[in-house]
Amino acid sequence: MTHVVQFSRTGGPEVLEYVAVPTREPGPGEVLVEVRAAGLNPVEWKQRSGLRPMPGPAPWRLGSDGAGVIAAVGPDVSGWAVGERVVISNAGGVQATHVVVGQGLLDALPDGVSFATGAGLGIPAGTAYQVLTSLGLAEGETLLVHGGSGGVGQAAIQIGRALGAQVVATASSANHDRLAELGATPVAYGDGLLERVRAASPGVDVVLDCAGTDEAIEVSLAVAAPDRVGTIVRGRDAAELGVRAWLGGSPDPLTEEEVALRRAAIPFVLGLPSWSVEVAAEIPLAEVARAHAISEEGHVRGKIVLVP
């Protein structure tokens, strides 16, 4: 049997169910993975609460990122074998003890990388890599990241540095040590932000907004050209603001190219000499409601991981 996280009505964390269902055998081109860690992303509590509608009929299952060990392979699968360690990204229903996914959604997890780190790659690294690539960040340029201490923000700092950019990142002062550790120049939020950003770097080429505040948008437009400012949280009014947006309430879905970039992020970051996922907490999968409540409060720095 497989235990899965699902919900049949929208609402608070209490609507989540942890239930047993028959384990599905993988079909052609599919792989059954025994999940060792599943990432929890803000989009999932937004889906559970009804802020982001789920497709299809209830019950709905959650989770797109995870890491584990291949338990079975279906017909026509090539390049994968039982027992291999893998990262899962851009999948569905990964918050479970076992999940069947297409072989194209897997990447090899190196022996020296923990399952928790692997589970923390998908949405944060995929989003950051796609957005920075779409905005054309190049070697020698300066990147400003608003909300640098969050999962996507931390990934953006590391990817920006790997691409040869200088990085300035905003966060509360309590998180400045983490930003500096990742190679960014930290800047505090609040009154005088524009002056502090300009003091940290005389020029900014690209901006990634992970904060969504009016302050962040105003500063972004003051330091960079609108077509090189992107937001992942103000999609609903990005066009009105004159900036680019990917999801975050945007009416425009990702293009095929953008989806491919998000998948390409995983082998890219796993191929870097070092990659850091700050794991804020490892919570038992059966306690997913508690994990959602913590995530929704928004005061956690780093990644919450669910462990079956």
- Is pLDDT above 80 for 51? yes
Task: Tell if the pTM clears 0.85, that is, is over it.
Answer: yes
CA distance 18 to 5: 5
Residue with tokens 């905003």: 170
Q: What is the pLDDT of residue 298?
A: 80
CA distance 123 to 61: 17
| 206 and 137 Cβ atoms separated by less than 8 Å | yes
Q: What is the pLDDT of residue 249?
A: 85
| 275 and 159 Cβ atoms separated by less than 8 Å | no
pLDDT digits (tens, 9 = 90+) for 126-176: 999 999 999 999 999 999 999 999 999 999 999 999 999 999 999 999 999
pLDDT digits (tens, 9 = 90+) for 52-100: 899 999 999 999 999 999 999 999 999 999 999 999 999 999 999 999 9
- Is pLDDT above 80 for 299? no
Neighbours of 112 (CB within 10 A): 6
Q: What is the pLDDT of residue 191?
A: 94
Whether cis (ω within 30° of 0) applies to the bond prior to 110 is no
Q: Give the pLDDT band of residue 302 (cuts 50, 70, 90).
A: confident
| 153 and 210 Cβ atoms separated by less than 8 Å | yes
CA distance 126 to 260: 9
| 235 and 248 Cβ atoms separated by less than 8 Å | yes
| 39 and 70 Cβ atoms separated by less than 8 Å | no
**Of 131, 140, 137, 209, nearest in space to 169 by CA:** 209
pLDDT digits (tens, 9 = 90+) for 191-250: 999 999 999 999 999 999 999 999 999 999 999 999 999 999 999 999 999 999 998 888
pLDDT digits (tens, 9 = 90+) for 240-295: 999 999 988 888 999 999 999 999 999 999 999 999 999 999 999 999 999 999 99
pLDDT digits (tens, 9 = 90+) for 16-47: 999 999 999 999 999 999 999 999 999 999 99
Q: What is the pLDDT of residue 200?
A: 97
**Of 223, 216, 155, 145, nearest in space to 185 by CA:** 145
pLDDT digits (tens, 9 = 90+) for 125-136: 999 999 999 999
- Is pLDDT above 90 for 300? no
- Is pLDDT above 90 for 15? yes
Q: What is the pLDDT of residue 231?
A: 98
Relative orientation angle of helices 288-297 and 42-49, to the nearest 10 degrees = 100
Pairing of strands 229-231, 206-209: parallel
**At CA 156, angle to CA 163 and CA 159, rounded to 5?**
25
**Of 186, 131, 177, 137, nearest in space to 278 by CA:** 177
